[in-house]
Structure 1
Amino acid sequence: MVPTRRWTVFAGAACFFVVFAVILDEPAPLFAAGGLTAWLLAAQLDSFRTMAAADDALSTSVSVEPSTVPVGNQAVVTLAASLASTIDAPLDVELASPPSVDVVAEEQRHLRVEAGEASGSTVCRISCPVAGHVSFDTLRVTLRGRLGLFTETTTVETDATCLVEPPSPDGIHVGQGGERTGTIFGEHASTQSGPGLVPHETRRYLPGDTLSQIDWRTTARMNYPHIREFESESDLLLSLVVDVGSNMAAGPDGRTMFAYAREVALGLVETAASYNDPLSVRLVTDEGTAWEFGPSSSSNAYHESRRELLAFDPPSGATHSSKSASPLAPADALARRETLETDDSPFATTLRPYLSASRTYLSRVSERPLFDAVKTACHRVDGDDHLVLVTDDTSNVETYEAAVVASQRCTQTTVFLTPTALFAEAPTDRSRLVAFEEFRQRLDGLPSVEAYEIAPRTALERATTDTKTPTT
């Protein structure tokens, strides 16, 4: 408890009477000082009892509608407080808003339950300018004594959350050769028989967990909500490798290559969650794997994967292009070496040894971040598995060799490619689109590999129409 300014005034008056009694050498002022002191002690005891009763009777709730909101839009936070039994003092509840949101009206964050009242509520509008996961996890409760001499401020934990989604690109095309596919990626038949879900571990309750997951025995023993997680014995493992390098930042704000690729990745996570499939996710930058999670089929795995995909933003600036740095495949090197066999020029003589070194190709590809991430994902899987690679067409050699490794080690492999030609500031180059389609078909021809393009629908339709239109 903290004394208020009013208590300070009365305490100062008691001290004044004591000093006055000493100066006058009279006992009468001491009686006044003693009376004030006794009254202050009684008020403190009464305030303590009131605050203890309020602490036992108070229950609060916070809800956010809608639970998912696009960045820049508003959401409504409802704050409610109720008392099992009324008290003779006012109660103030304040919502502690995260720094990533803006409160439209500050007074809406405050709720007062007047003395003698049993409940109260308020509605607070917030604006969400930053994408990510927003948690309203703290309430500040302030209680004043009946006489206004003491206050007490405590914090109450809540679990209200809101997902602020970044601007979603409109008109996403996912298909092959310009033809849109109707497949829901990640779906599979659930015909396997077996014991189903088995207990995996027990952990503390986290915001977003459902009540059906609560392990009541552990909760009673630990005096805090605990969740019993289960793992599936025979589900299809989805290993998701997403390229988040600087090259994926190409395109206008909100419609970058990564924005389109992220929508596909989020759809795959949702499908895995609907089937309760184990999920493994890796986000790969130009330097290496920046974030990885799993494999796991817990609700937290899907939640963390969504949160990280929504929060990640590839670095903008000079995009990474590996066309000049990509190693030459052995077959291509051999063909070029045969061409130079009949050339006796000094240039051909100098170049010929470099085209015969196939070991350099293998070592350089194995050092690439995306190839290493795919190889690691394939190495860790066990049983039926589906590896999904989401990238672009700037590192074709690395992507192709990664798909080869995945086709050899995984049950199923899917590659999603974003064509850089459709995200460039310059007009679409037809030759680049043709080269992209040839590369996609080459990937699609690998055993157990399916390759799809991800692109803005209108840009692809316009480029396809322009390509088909004969020039005069």
Structure 2
Amino acid sequence: MELTRRGHAVIGTAGTLLLVGVLGDRPLAVVGAATLCAWLLVVQHRAVSRFVACDESLSVSVATEQLALQPNERGTLTVAIEFEETQRLSASVTVEWPVGVDGERPTLMVGPETNQAETTCTFSAPLAGQYELPELQCNYTDESGLFEQRVGRSEHTSIVVETASLSDLQVGGDDLAAKLYGEHPNNQSGSGTDVMGIRRYIPGDSLSRIDWNSTARLGDAYVRELEDESSNQTRIFLDRHESMNDGPPGRKKSDYMREVALGILQILERDYDPVGLTLIDEGGIQFDSDIRETPRHYRQCRRVLNADRDRVAETRSRRHNEGWTGTPSNVAQQIGARLSAQDNEFATVLRPFFEASGSYTQRFDSEPLFNGLRVKTSTELTRGWTVICTDDTRPQETREAVKATVSEGTLVTVFLTPTVLFDGSWADTERTYERYVDFETFRKQLNAMPGVHAYEVAPGERRTAVLEARQNERDDEGLNGGENHARA
């Protein structure tokens, strides 16, 4: 509860009377100050009870007409407030927007004369993602105008902005979902609920899985090994190199790969399969998440995939909410501080596992894709499926990365975009076709590796145009050759 301007004026008046009464030895002024303060306390007590009654009586509803919007598309939000019972006080509700959303900010008023109010405001967001509407601020003012109370109302309203789907997306291959996932394996360690046994702690293990009894008994950190009988573990590696920006706006390599990654994520979410997401750029691992299967985790992955490169750092700042990896959480740091203050064998054994591990982003001097995959696949506790989304600009590095990943015992699916269909160099039909043949040869080489499936991701219309242009040239050559043969 806060004082309004009028309330501050009353306090000021009482203070002035008290000062005059004390300094000027005027008892009546002191009595006047005391009377004002007593009256103010009575009004405050009455305002508190009425504020509570008003807040209980006020109902707020928020609704959006569109389930999902496209970037920069105008959406509408309807806000309605109503006093279920007539109140002597007035209330106002102000609409606020989350960061990244631009919209009107109307204020609705209800009071003794008007019990309900409703407004519709428009908004838009330039970038794809899921935005949570902040709390609506409800302001109550008592009838004397001396006190006001602000109460936040959370309506749990989300605004979903999705990137426009690519109508000409073409993924080469047969029965993609079956080849990628197949049957759910069993007798694998994972994130289930049945304990299979214990093993030594490995950096990166969840702190909640530490078996403290075994750790204290054996003198080293041990974690519980859990059985996962019904879910596959998948990690998606998305290439964010500069070469992925080849292509016109909205039709870049990265746009097509994002669609593929979102499609895979949708399949995994449907089957409640755990998934991890790793983004790699020229410097190394740009973004990384744990492998989880919670609804919030799926939403986080979708938000990161829809974000552009500049917004990944912003999303990364929220990683601690659902196990997004990086520097240790505050809890781990607090445990580490307590262990540092202790001088016994138990603290000595555990102290190294709670120390800060440095910067969140991992950087590599060369071959970031190869090194990023090697680091992640070698530290994953459960072997499952690895999905790599990249292009054909670094064939040797991609080939070695796939080999290294398969050697760790995981199945690999590679999605490749052919640069020739994105760089705009299509004037020379013969050369364009040769480059496409080179790409297809590379893809087939990857696909021939044991445990690997490789698929082409391309704009279907452009791919068809290149192949048809080559076929037309061959037909013309054959026709001309037949005419020359006839003349001879």
How high is the TM-score relative to the length of structure 1?
A: 0.71
Aligned partner (choices 127, 135, 139) of residue 138 of structure 1: 135
Cα distance in 2 for partners of 1:65, 1:40 equals: 46
- The answer for the alignment partner of 1:3 in structure 2 is 3
- The answer for the alignment partner of 2:396 in structure 1 is 397
Cα distance in 2 for partners of 1:402, 1:270 equals: 26
Cα distance in 1 for partners of 2:26, 2:404 equals: 100
- The answer for the alignment partner of 1:272 in structure 2 is 268
1:162 matches 2:159: yes
- Flag the 1:190–1:32 CA change in 2: closer, same or farther, 3 A: same
Secondary structure of 2:437's counterpart equals helix
Higher strand share goes to which structure? 1
Cα distance in 2 for partners of 1:436, 1:415 equals: 13
Secondary structure of 1:309's counterpart equals helix
- The answer for the alignment partner of 1:129 in structure 2 is 126
TM alignment of 1:342-357, pairs within 5 A: none
C-alpha RMSD of matched pairs (Å): 3.8
1:421 matches 2:415: no
Tell whether the 8 Å contact from 2:187 to 2:227 is kept in structure 1 after alignment: no
TM alignment of 1:235-246, pairs within 5 A: 235-246=231-242
Secondary structure of 1:442's counterpart equals helix
Cα distance in 2 for partners of 1:188, 1:282 equals: 23
Aligned length: 386
- The answer for the alignment partner of 2:353 in structure 1 is none
CA apart distance, 1:9: 5.9
Cα distance in 2 for partners of 1:266, 1:378 equals: 21
Cα distance in 2 for partners of 1:449, 1:314 equals: 32
- The answer for the alignment partner of 1:153 in structure 2 is 150
TM alignment of 1:321-332, pairs within 5 A: none
Cα distance in 1 for partners of 2:270, 2:253 equals: 26
Cα distance in 1 for partners of 2:77, 2:18 equals: 53
Tell whether the 8 Å contact from 1:232 to 1:278 is kept in structure 2 after alignment: no
How high is the TM-score relative to the length of structure 2?
A: 0.68
Moved more, 420-429 or 274-283: 420-429
Secondary structure of 1:159's counterpart equals coil
Cα distance in 1 for partners of 2:50, 2:464 equals: 71
TM alignment of 1:244-283, pairs within 5 A: 244-283=240-279
Moved more, 118-127 or 68-77: 118-127
* Residue type at the aligned position of 2:251: R
1:452 matches 2:445: no
CA apart distance, 1:90: 1.0
Cα distance in 1 for partners of 2:183, 2:93 equals: 51
- Flag the 1:99–1:199 CA change in 2: closer, same or farther, 3 A: same
1:43 matches 2:43: yes
CA apart distance, 1:120: 4.7
Secondary structure of 1:99's counterpart equals coil
- The answer for the alignment partner of 1:79 in structure 2 is 79
Cα distance in 2 for partners of 1:406, 1:193 equals: 22
Cα distance in 2 for partners of 1:231, 1:114 equals: 59
- Flag the 1:144–1:54 CA change in 2: closer, same or farther, 3 A: same
Q: Which runs of 5+ in 2 are unaligned?
A: 195-225, 312-363, 478-488
Tell whether the 8 Å contact from 1:91 to 1:115 is kept in structure 2 after alignment: no
* Residue type at the aligned position of 1:188: G
- Flag the 1:231–1:139 CA change in 2: closer, same or farther, 3 A: farther
Tell whether the 8 Å contact from 1:417 to 1:451 is kept in structure 2 after alignment: yes
Cα distance in 2 for partners of 1:132, 1:19 equals: 59
1:311 matches 2:307: yes
Tell whether the 8 Å contact from 2:64 to 2:78 is kept in structure 1 after alignment: yes
Secondary structure of 1:443's counterpart equals helix
- The answer for the alignment partner of 1:379 in structure 2 is 378
CA apart distance, 1:165: 2.2
* Residue type at the aligned position of 2:264: L
- The answer for the alignment partner of 2:182 in structure 1 is 188
CA apart distance, 1:155: 3.0
CA apart distance, 1:442: 1.0
Secondary structure of 1:66's counterpart equals coil
Secondary structure of 1:294's counterpart equals coil
* Residue type at the aligned position of 1:426: S
- Flag the 1:314–1:268 CA change in 2: closer, same or farther, 3 A: farther
Cα distance in 1 for partners of 2:83, 2:435 equals: 68
* Residue type at the aligned position of 1:279: V
Cα distance in 1 for partners of 2:461, 2:240 equals: 24
Cα distance in 1 for partners of 2:309, 2:7 equals: 54
